[in-house]
Amino acid sequence: MRTVGVEEELLLVDPDSGDPKALAAAVLARAAQDDPGQEIFEKELFGQMLEFATHPQADLTALGEEIVRCRKEAGRHAGEIGCAVAALATSPLPVSPSLSMNERYRWLAERYGIPTWDQLVCGCHVHVSVESDEEGVAVLDRIRPWLSVLRAISANSPFWQGQDTGYAGYRSRVWNRWPSAGPTEPFGSAEQYHRRVADMVGTGAILDEGMVYFDARLSARYPTVEIRVADVCLYADTAVLIAALSRALVETAARDWRAGRPAPGHSVSLLRMGDWRAARFGLDGDLLDPATMRPRPAAQVVRALLEHTGDALTDFGDAARAGRAVEELLRDGNGAREQRRLLERAGSLRDVVTGCVRLTQG
């Protein structure tokens, strides 16, 4: 069975005011006091962010338990130094990001200038195991039109610098300012994938292979496909659903490749249209149907993803769980909808943040 692992980026905030706090170094130091050899928590581009990574898991229940445990541990370490963690993909409140002290991050700030300082955004990256780079690239070529559906499901960034953006997932609009970010053309083979990456590094516009910010890529560190489109999810259960669907997408694509079925030929231009719709509307409008690239109600497109991956979900034992999670999400809404509900009830973006702190902890 394919394993799946999740990386989540969390926002560090003041538990009372909701303001982002640049205390990642202190939180990491506190975590190291408890466990000097810990490799779960890491710093990110800005001091207001904290990242954790789960172990590879074959069982989704175990994965969900680990996500919840990591969130609680992050919250405990943060609380011990006077801050809190929130699973928010952007800060609802205005913030001036503080760059982490790191040679790589300084290079980014010097090379890209002002756009770097907009990148205080938190994502959820899903790693799914593959048998080889050849299988991995065949998967990348075949999952491209479905990635926007994962973005819509996870959308959790409606607010930016104190304003409602009108988007469900504004994080992707910010993230796509990197020159290497976004959807890709089909690669055709592992050789062509690696040649493309080498050519991109050779331009000097990016530092190295780690800066290839495709929506989905081969991991440079692990034998996995890394799917990078999701916002960090407000609810841990939504993160587990994204992991389940990602693994099923990878397995479905690999089976299609082994059966000789060709990859969809959708152009990058059309994929960008689908990506925009997913970011703009989330689950509350029309998405592009990956088969036709024409608008359909979000609920129909999400259920089409369940149907597309149905055999794989069943074989992994995830079909019933994923089906229930999808129906609950379509009924109750994703993180973007919940953030707007909190604002409507409380009338304050500060209350949105503090409410999301509680929801992050479950």
**Neighbour count for residue 104 (Cβ, 10 Å):** 12
**Beta strands at 224-231 and 216-218: parallel, antiparallel or unpaired:** antiparallel
pLDDT digits (tens, 9 = 90+) for 237-273: 999 999 999 999 999 999 999 999 999 999 999 999 9
Query: Which residue's entry shows tokens 């992707």?
Result: 172
According to DSSP H, which parts of 293-334 are helical?
298-308, 310-316, 319-332
DSSP 277-289: HHHHHTTSSEEE-
Instruction: Say how far apart CA 167 and CA 156 lie, in whole Å.
Output: 9
- Residue 52 CA to its chain's centroid (Å): 13
pLDDT for the residue numbered 356: 98
Q: What percent of the chain has pLDDT over 70?
A: 100
The pTM for the full model equals: 0.97
**Beta strands at 49-53 and 163-164: parallel, antiparallel or unpaired:** unpaired
Instruction: Say how far apart CA 143 and CA 207 lie, in whole Å.
Output: 27
Say whether pLDDT at 37 is over 80. Answer: no
Please report, in angstroms and rounded to a whole number, the separation of the first and last CA atoms in the chain.
29
pLDDT digits (tens, 9 = 90+) for 147-198: 999 999 999 999 999 999 999 999 999 999 999 999 999 999 999 999 999 9
| Residue 92: closest CA among 13, 175, 155, 159 | 159
Query: In the structure encoding, which two tokens stand for residue 75, read together?
Result: 């919250």
Query: Which residue's entry shows tokens 């597309």?
Result: 308
Dump strand ranges (E) for 99-165. Answer: 123-129, 159-160, 163-164
The CA R_g of the chain, rounded to the nearest whole Å, is 19
All structural domains of the chain with their residue ranges = 4-360
pLDDT for the residue numbered 147: 98
- CATH T-level fold of 4-360: Creatine Kinase; Chain A, domain 2 (3.30.590)
